Structures are given as C-alpha cells and as structure tokens.
Structure 1
Amino acid sequence: MTGTGDGNGDRPLLFLDVDGPLLPFGDGPRHKPSGAALIGHLARLDPQVGLRLAALPCDLVWATTWEQEANAEIAPRLGLPPLPVVIWPEPSDDDERQDRWFGLCWKTRTLVAWAGQRPFAWIDDEITDADREWVSAHHPGPALLHHVAPARGLTDDDFAALDHWLRAP
C-alpha cells in the first residue's frame, strides 16, 4: 500500500485534499480565469496555488475523493503534472468502529500506511486533534497534519507553515 511516486523517496510527502483546501467552498472565484472561462465551482481553483505547491520541497500526492479525476480535472488547472493518487480501500467494520470512537478522519489510517516510513504533511479540512494523536502514535516518522479552513482554502499563512515544516532539519 506504500506509495511509489516519482519522487526520490527521501523527500517528505505532501498529501493534498481538494475540496476545501484547493477548491474553497467560499463564494465566487478566487481569481479571474483567463482564456476559456471555467465552469461553476472549478473557477475557484487558483493556478498560483499550483505554482506554490510545486515549489515546496516535497513529493505531492492526491489524497482526495477525486482520486484519478484529480489528475484529469484539477492538476491541469493548477499547472501541476499528474501526481500519485491515494486509492481509498473499504474500511473493515472494526476499523470503522474504532475510527468513530477515536474521532478519526476516515483518511487517517490509509495515509499513514501509504506513507510507510517517510515523513509527510497532510492538508485537509477534516483534520482534528484526534488524527494528530493517532498519527503520532502510529507513524514512525515526522508528520504535520495541517487543517485548512474550507471557506478560504490555502492561504499565505498555510503555505508559510508548510514551507517551515518541510525545510526544518
């Protein structure tokens, strides 16, 4: 289940949720689309976000219910190449019960397994303190679970926090 992206394996992973962090739920587009106008909610995608993500010292990975559609619909609009994609397995009944009891996001276990031994950051609008505690107890390497306000999406402050963590020794 461990990912095998195009990265060198030494850099941290950055797991990307789409709805909320990259595609804010707030009103209206974040920028004026150039060329052919984007239809509906995809107009909220900001190509500058893609440039900023690509400049971070990490390997980007889609961690979204969009799955492969993120490479078809989101990546080109953000100016990103196709990225590795986390495919979500059906959770066991026991895992589902435990996740509800602990208050875990349904993605947490899969992302820890996908990361293997690699350090990772994860941006999502569903992250809670319970997820941070669980990852701390179950992942052998450094991890940053960064909650993004879904109405705003990624902000300068979010990028500063990611950049600081990714460049820390």
Structure 2
Amino acid sequence: MTAPTGRRPLLFLDVDGPLIPFGRTPPEYTTYDMTGVAPDVADHPFLPRLDPAHGGMLSALACDLVWATAWQHEANTYLAPRLGLPELPVVEWLEELDLDGHDERTGLHWKTRALVAYAAGRPFVWVDDEITGTDTAWVAAHHGTHALLHRVDSREGLSPADYAELAAWLRDAPATEAADECG
C-alpha cells in the first residue's frame, strides 16, 4: 500500500453510496448507457446510476484522488472510464473485507485504520456513506494532521452541496511538509 507522492491532500473515494446512490436515481442524473457493456458489469443493478458528471467534479477538486472501495482495482476497470477519470491509485485492503461495516469491539469502520496508514501523515478527505462518530474520533486521535471524514447520504449520492463542502475544506487544507520544503 504505497501512497501517491505529492503535496496535495488525498481524497479517499468510496463508490457504493457516494457515486452509485442506493435510492431512486435522481432525475437530474445523466446515467451511463449500458449498451455493449460486458454482461457481468451490465448486470450490476446499480451501475447505471453512476452519474458521468462526477468525473469532472472530482477532477476539479484540489486533491489526489484514491479509490477506497471494495471495488478495489475494478473501480479503474469499470468506473474510471465511465467517469472520464484516469487510472487512480487504489487502497488495497490487506485484511479480509468485513463488508458488514464496523469492528464489533470498537464500532470502527473496517477501512479507517487502513486509510490513516495509507495517508502516512498527509491531510486527507474520506468520502463514504458509512462513516460514524467513532471513525472521526479515532482519526482525530491517530492521524497527525488534518482530515475530513465526509459522510454522504447513500440514498442520494454526492450532491452539489457535498462538492462545495469538499472544495472549501481542500482550499483551506494546510500544505504538507513536502510542499513547505519545496517552497
């Protein structure tokens, strides 16, 4: 799990919920045409809900995008092209995925520790629909710099208001040490 190099904050991006909402498809979405898509992907019941406009909105944010999803490398295969995104780094989950969500002992999401380790001291935003106060408190106690854990309503997915909040936080995020050293 090697974090990308650079000065900008990281944005860890979940797919199911933030990019593929679970509620009814918002009427303003221009959904992806599934004609000619491989059957195993075309049969994904929620993939047509992927709004291609997210790619441009994500690319406009002042950060380095990283997939933080159970889709892992398949996000680059099936989602990035539909969003107009380049191949992105992927957080590779080293432990067996507990897709039920949270550590029974602490209530901590199964992604939280791995994302803090991956960030390796860089400021980051984590966009997910399963973040809780336990995750926020743990990150505050164990991550040495700024982090924004941004919970998205899984029924609606990322909204213009979400993008405005992310852009404002990223605009105000402090420079990393690498940026200070480079001037």
Q: Compared with structure 1, are the counterparts of its residues 27 and 90 closer, same or farther at alpha carbon in structure 2 (3 Å cutoff)?
A: same
Q: How does 1:76-155 map to 2 (within 5 A)?
A: 76-90=81-95, 99-155=103-159
Query: Residue 162 of structure 2 aligns to which amino acid in structure 1?
Result: D
RMSD: 2.0
Question: 1:167 and 1:79 mapped to 2: Cα distance?
Answer: 23
- Correspondence 1:26 to 2:31: no
| 1:37, distance to aligned residue in structure 2 (A) | 7.4
**Structure 1 118/55 Cα, relative in aligned 2: closer, same or farther at 3 Å?**
same
Cα distance in structure 1, aligned partners of 2:6 and 2:31: 37
Query: Structure 2 length as normaliser, TM-score?
Result: 0.81
1:113–1:2: structure 2 CA closer, same or farther, 3 Å change rule? Answer: farther
Mapped contact 1:2–1:116 kept (Cα < 8 A): no
**Partner SS, residue 105 of structure 2:** helix
Identity %: 57
| Partner SS for 1:53 | helix
Distance 1:156 1:73 in 2: 24
Distance of 2:80 and 2:167 partners within structure 1: 20
Question: Any stretches of 5+ residues in structure 1 without a counterpart?
Answer: 92-97
Aligned length: 160
Find the counterpart in structure 2 of residue 95 from structure 1: none
Measured at CA, do residues 145 and 32 of structure 1 come closer, stay the same or move farther in structure 2, by a change above 3 Å? Answer: closer
CA distance in 2, matches of 1:140, 1:134: 11
1:60 maps to 2:57: no
- Partner of 1:72 in structure 2? 77
Residues 34 and 166 (structure 1), Cα distance of their counterparts in 2 relative to 1, 3 Å cut: same
* Other-structure match for 2:177: none
Instruction: Give the alignment's TM-score, normalised by structure 1.
Output: 0.87
Q: Name the CA shift for 1:2/1:133 in 2 (closer, same or farther; >3 Å).
A: farther
Q: CA deviation at 1:144?
A: 0.2
**Is the 2:33–2:48 Cα contact (8 Å) retained in structure 1?**
no
Does the aligned pair in 1 maintain the 2:32–2:50 contact within 8 Å? no
Shift of 1:107: 0.2
Counterpart residue identity of residue 137, structure 1: A
CA distance in 2 between partners of 1:125 and 1:35 (Å): 25
